[in-house]
Amino acid sequence: MNKNIILLDLGNKDYKETWDYQEKLFKEILDTKIKNRREDAGLETPNYLLLVEHPHVFTLGKSGDLSNLLVSEKELAEKNASFYKINRGGDITYHGPGQIVGYPILDLANFFTDIHKYLRLLEEMVILTLAEYGLKAERSPGETGVWFDVGTPFARKICALGVRASRWVTMHGFAFNVNADLGYFDLMIPCGIKDKAVTSLNVELGTAKADETEVKAKLLKHFKALFEAEFLENVAS
């Protein structure tokens, strides 16, 4: 089992370009798995983790309801935002500046074949990272992602999850609000969940801006430990 993960920090990159790149890597891993099954080729499947920040964009999962987007195409254009229907699970979400987005493209056969465990480990990565800032985050029963004050009128989400998996290969992933402009979340019903707020790390810390480089390093530390993996950086793909 290959527990090395090729880490690629894409910086600020268009959503559609990144989605296409995910699909390319996802297909390459699937093709290798199919070749191994058909020909007993014994080829090692690679794993990737893409980190990225997107320009303003709204994405709707395959089970999502378009009515959860509360503005027209014209209004989106006025906000310099784009919109895509995509092939992950979940409903509508927002990506934009000040948000750390991670796309693990893993062959879970290299780690464990359990999607529920996979989602819980992604949540745990964020929970442990927030704990380093003295913040107590938690899960909300029946709702993916990472939250504060679950079960109270003040429940608010700081990290959304949405994934796709085929033959135990994953794509899409998590979106962690670090310095996000929360006004964009007012243009939708986040994840289709009404009457619950969204927050960002800088808001929770009461600071103008959190250190995104520091946050990213903490996330990677916990990802590595939870998945018992090693990162290979600056690897061309």
Neighbours of 210 (CB within 10 A): 19
Q: Let me know if 191 is a catalytic residue.
A: yes
CATH code where residue 135 lies:
3.30.930.10
Q: Of 157, 201, 197, which Cα lies nearest the Cα of 180? A: 201
Cβ partners under 8 Å of residue 29, min gap 6: 45, 46, 105, 107, 169
Q: Which residues are annotated as a binding site?
A: 88-95, 160-162, 173-175
pTM above 0.85, yes or no: yes
Q: What are the pLDDT tens digits along the chain (237 aa)?
A: 899 999 999 999 999 999 999 999 999 999 999 999 999 989 999 999 999 999 999 998 887 888 889 998 889 989 999 999 998 877 888 999 999 999 999 999 999 999 999 999 999 999 999 999 999 999 999 999 999 999 999 999 999 999 999 999 999 999 999 999 999 998 987 665 666 799 999 999 999 999 999 999 999 999 999 999 999 986 544
| CA 166 from centroid of its chain's CA atoms | 17
Q: Which residues are annotated as a binding site for substrate?
A: 88-95, 160-162, 173-175
Domain count, the chain: 1
Contact between 54 and 14 under an 8 Å Cβ cutoff? The reply is: yes
The residue annotated as part of the active site, out of 106, 188, 191, 220, is 191
Residue 53 is part of which domain span? 4-233
